Structure 1
């Protein structure tokens, strides 16, 4: 007879496995988004708004006078720093270091940003006020997408998982460039020059083979402050600082990998969830069916659900057929299609760009959140279902 303790252990094993696997990051983001929506539409909605948007009684930096600004401009610099570390590692020693290996993810990522933008412009109805939101469906949320793959276990081939991760990283590079180029206004050249000097100092530390982390960390904080005051969004400092971190080995360890491994879980389990909770709450009061089906949320959701999969799948198919780059090994076309659908999950970066796109129009930001959450959830469920029931055997097509 099976003991009650053994039965209980057997029953909870799948749940335990879930919370120690890659899936947990995606599940956590879902829980955070749901919690933000619940609180924003509860009797505590006013307190939720005041917590993040109320003026702080004191702040060491005048530009950051509420908690929402501290999260989006300061805390998220850590997220972008980790993104920068991942990008540099991939370019120097990862999948993007080989010209043949980087062809497909770069080609697919470019198509995966261009086609969603085209879908966005088509569905937004030509409203000039909405044009600044074209980049909202441009990037894939790595944690969310990889979390859905984690739920599928071994059903998704390893090369296809790696492809999704690489495309998402290239997406992040594109999103960072978009933020720097298209969401920057009123440049202050003195502060920008100061930022360049600080980056030069960090680069000198690299060339001088400085082995301590602290000079890099202190310089990165100064760089962030200079960028904050320059007119470029402060989080770009995170990416720039990461590029100065040495990749070389030190006592058998890479300083870059040491930093990345030290920050990646803090990033996944603290920084991104706090950002998600502060930004995903949408007050649905007064937003009826007309608001949900307004041009902005439809354009964003359409870009994520339709544009992402259409652009990336078409790029893979064309590249494979003309011999430009091979499709991921061990993968059927149905499995590839399922993964391209998951690329339509745009939670973190999309929410971030939405706040930059419509800083003076709170209603448009709320509508954008509806489109992001709706498009991301549809992409997650649709991609999961396709991959869950896709045949595992590759067939030549």
Structure 2
């Protein structure tokens, strides 16, 4: 299967970024439970231009992360795995199963309670962590598997972004929203007029971000909108989209996501925290990610292939799909992101982060061992 240079670059940066994320998470946990705990937490609540440092990271820098995800999705649609409808349907169908079944399992335990707003938490896949673990399996991993997991995770995150926009907007200020959408429309006009210079898009994106932030809709949505306003052209190395995507890979993988991990995994561990594992939201998250993800992805793709809506690539088998489903159960970055939107209680937020750490570790370990056993009998690529 043909693999583009930009996809390989995206995969390589994400897998390396996943290993950096693991290191930053361990560092954050260590410092948060040391004598420096108080100072460490205060650091992230330092105010800059009216917003805390944590807020700037979660609402500002993460917008750039979503911009990169949007650019990758756009490329997949125009030239990659999603450009052929038959090929695109496999990860699309899998992603739907990996979104709705985990949410359903969560609601099974939490519907009608104060914690039902957390249904979006087990829906998302952490691309960096999932690809980081997949990379540990070496050169026996088929290209189709890399592309399937990447496309699956990107579509998953797009679904999570839509859910954030629709269900996690508490107060909507229409004037600011219309101004933000008006700027988006203007950028689309620039696109149609073949304006290739990045400067108008960067300035317009920054202004759109400000008004989106003031509208009540989560400002990170701006990143995805901007990605589809940036001209794709013919997709070659001189195209505006390619240049921007190429530029963003390393800053996102090695600066933005590590900062997100450092700011949001400062979990203070205590003996009482084990009680959080028996809460309904813990059951919903754990079952959603460890059971719902692999079962939903495998079940729906299996039905899709049997119904001839899509086809399984020759170098993939159903054991690999199940293993990939477990890797998709690593719901770290996006799941923490949704947690911060779903809950206001700092105790619940801290507990959910703890559950996500344990659950993502379990899902990643199961996925790694499952794929390692499956790939053991495969010829070296």
- Give TM-score scaled by structure 1 length: 0.88
Q: Where does residue 43 of structure 1 map in the other structure?
A: 35
* Counterpart among 343, 359, 372 of residue 356 in structure 2: 372
Report the Cα distance in structure 2 between the residues aligned to 1:266 and 1:201, rounded to whole angstroms.
Answer: 27
2:286 maps to 1:294:
no
Q: CA deviation at 1:348?
A: 0.9
* Counterpart among 1, 4, 26 of residue 34 in structure 1: 26
Greater mean deviation of Cα atoms: 220-229 or 200-209: 200-209
Give yes or no for contact 1:133–1:354 (8 Å, CA) kept in 2: yes
* Counterpart among 71, 76, 81 of residue 57 in structure 2: 71
* Counterpart among 107, 122, 144 of residue 108 in structure 2: 122
Report the Cα distance in structure 2 between the residues aligned to 1:78 and 1:225, rounded to whole angstroms.
Answer: 14
Q: CA deviation at 1:350?
A: 0.6
Give yes or no for contact 1:108–1:167 (8 Å, CA) kept in 2: yes
Q: What is the aligned length?
A: 367
Greater CA radius of gyration, 1 or 2?
A: 1
2:183 maps to 1:198:
yes
* Counterpart among 82, 88, 110 of residue 102 in structure 1: 88
1:225-272 alpha-carbon deviations (Å, 9 max, x no partner): 010101101111111111100000499611101100100111011001
2:68 maps to 1:82:
yes
* Counterpart among 340, 362, 375 of residue 355 in structure 1: 340
1:253-292 alpha-carbon deviations (Å, 9 max, x no partner): 1110110010011101100110011001211135342123
Q: CA deviation at 1:199?
A: 0.9
Q: What SS does the corresponding residue of 1:290 show, helix, strand or coil?
A: helix
Give yes or no for contact 1:296–1:371 (8 Å, CA) kept in 2: no
RMSD across aligned positions (CA): 1.8
Q: CA deviation at 1:381?
A: 0.7
Q: CA deviation at 1:27?
A: 1.5
Report the Cα distance in structure 2 between the residues aligned to 1:192 and 1:391, rounded to whole angstroms.
Answer: 49
Greater mean deviation of Cα atoms: 285-294 or 83-92: 285-294
Give yes or no for contact 1:163–1:328 (8 Å, CA) kept in 2: no
Q: CA deviation at 1:218?
A: 0.6
2:139 maps to 1:161:
no
Report the Cα distance in structure 2 between the residues aligned to 1:240 and 1:391, rounded to whole angstroms.
Answer: 38
Moved over 3 A (4+): 20-23, 249-252, 391-394
Give yes or no for contact 1:111–1:311 (8 Å, CA) kept in 2: yes
Q: What SS does the corresponding residue of 1:186 show, helix, strand or coil?
A: coil
Q: CA deviation at 1:372?
A: 1.3
Compared with structure 1, are the counterparts of its residues 234 and 252 closer, same or farther at alpha carbon in structure 2 (3 Å cutoff)? closer
Greater mean deviation of Cα atoms: 241-250 or 343-352: 241-250
Report the Cα distance in structure 2 between the residues aligned to 1:266 and 1:329, rounded to whole angstroms.
Answer: 35
1:188-212 alpha-carbon deviations (Å, 9 max, x no partner): 1110111111112211211111121
Report the Cα distance in structure 1 between the residues aligned to 2:297 and 2:142, rounded to whole angstroms.
Answer: 18
Report the Cα distance in structure 2 between the residues aligned to 1:240 and 1:336, rounded to whole angstroms.
Answer: 31
1:65-95 alpha-carbon deviations (Å, 9 max, x no partner): x111111111111111111111111122221
Q: Which runs of 5+ in 2 are unaligned?
A: 1-11
Q: Which runs of 5+ in 1 are unaligned?
A: 1-19
Q: Where does residue 344 of structure 1 map in the other structure?
A: 329
Compared with structure 1, are the counterparts of its residues 205 and 334 closer, same or farther at alpha carbon in structure 2 (3 Å cutoff)? same
- Give TM-score scaled by structure 2 length: 0.92
Compared with structure 1, are the counterparts of its residues 220 and 110 closer, same or farther at alpha carbon in structure 2 (3 Å cutoff)? same
Compared with structure 1, are the counterparts of its residues 251 and 299 closer, same or farther at alpha carbon in structure 2 (3 Å cutoff)? closer
Give yes or no for contact 2:94–2:297 (8 Å, CA) kept in 1: yes
